[in-house]
Structure 1
Amino acid sequence: MRLGYGEDSHRLEEGRPLYLCGLQIPSPVGALAHSDGDAALHALTDALLSAYGLGDIGLLFPDTDPRWRGERSEVFLREALRLVEARGGRLLQASLVLTLDRPKLGPHREALVDSLARLLRLPQDRIGLTFKTSEGLAPSHVQARAVVLLDG
């Protein structure tokens, strides 16, 4: 068994799209990032990579490379899954905590879990998704923390 941990955060800006778990969420603010800024998928990508000592998202997809500008984060997640599977790994479970003051994510829970299940190729009961606010400490950012359990 292997355990991986990853986290990511981005500042939020008015007028930018907000992507989480592979979906665009209706919001007046979105992540300021080189890619699409999907903090959830970035954290999951890092968690998968960390379980096998493969570095992090910045090593594989540096923000200094114009090729990744505006790229959808599913690309990064798919590559991390490919690298893990090439080493005999099989994802068993993923847990994710998203911290965001606005917009509220509760109304999007089902769609977010559906998207994660599809992207991770896991049944929904193998995906933990928790929402938190910063309690006003950091209202202009989004943060994601992820833990993954793998066999192999």
Structure 2
Amino acid sequence: MKIRVGFGYDVHKLGVGEELWIGGIHVPHSKGSIGHSDGDVLIHAICDALLGAANMRDIGFHFPDTSDDYKGIDSKILLKRTIEIIRNKGFEIGNIDSTICLEKPKLKYLIPEMQSVLANVLSIDSEDIAIKATTTEKLGFVGTQEGIAAYATVLIQKD
């Protein structure tokens, strides 16, 4: 069995009047992610981690923000395509461990729904998707509520 680990990171600026999508769900808030797609930093970080683990470059290579094909696209579609890319190479997900960095709103009650949505898209058990949320103690662009960041580590395997 071949086992690989991948790491992903994404960041988006927050803006008034934008929608906030995290982990495939809409999060009610006065600010939202500014991005070419729907700006879902958690899904983007997971996509990068999966692609990196499979040595398939990164999300920008497969879904460039210079293409109108991806303007405003639901990031769950990008995740679905990403899992197809790695599965075509013979890999399956072992597990995902991720962290969302956001000062407000608090996400702890939304995490089970995010896990369920992502598990459905990826066709894996929600128990294989860890999502944590943290602040940056009011430091940096996350702390001043100018932006949002997410990190993801994945384990993929091939028989």
Same-fold call, TM cutoff 0.5: yes
Over aligned residues, Cα RMSD in angstroms? 1.0
Deviations 1:19-46 (A, max 9, x none): 0111111111100101000000000000
The residue identity in structure 1 corresponding to 2:45 is A
SS in 2 for 1:59: helix
Runs of 4+ in 1 over 4 A off after TM superposition: none
Q: CA deviation at 1:55?
A: 0.9
Rounded Cα–Cα distance in structure 1 between residues aligned with 2:39 and 2:113: 18
SS in 1 for 2:56: coil
Rounded Cα–Cα distance in structure 2 between residues aligned with 1:25 and 1:109: 11
Instruction: Structure 2: give runs of 5+ residues left out of the alignment.
Output: none
Rounded Cα–Cα distance in structure 1 between residues aligned with 2:54 and 2:47: 12
* Structure 1 match to 2:152: 146
Instruction: Structure 1: give runs of 5+ residues left out of the alignment.
Output: none
Rounded Cα–Cα distance in structure 1 between residues aligned with 2:81 and 2:112: 25
SS in 2 for 1:5: strand
The residue identity in structure 2 corresponding to 1:41 is I
The residue identity in structure 1 corresponding to 2:153 is V
Q: How many residues align structurally?
A: 152
The residue identity in structure 1 corresponding to 2:152 is A
* Structure 1 match to 2:120: 118
Q: CA deviation at 1:120?
A: 2.1
Rounded Cα–Cα distance in structure 2 between residues aligned with 1:109 and 1:82: 24
Deviations 1:26-72 (A, max 9, x none): 11110010100000000000011001111111111111111111011
Instruction: Give the share of equivalent positions with the same residue, in percent.
Output: 32
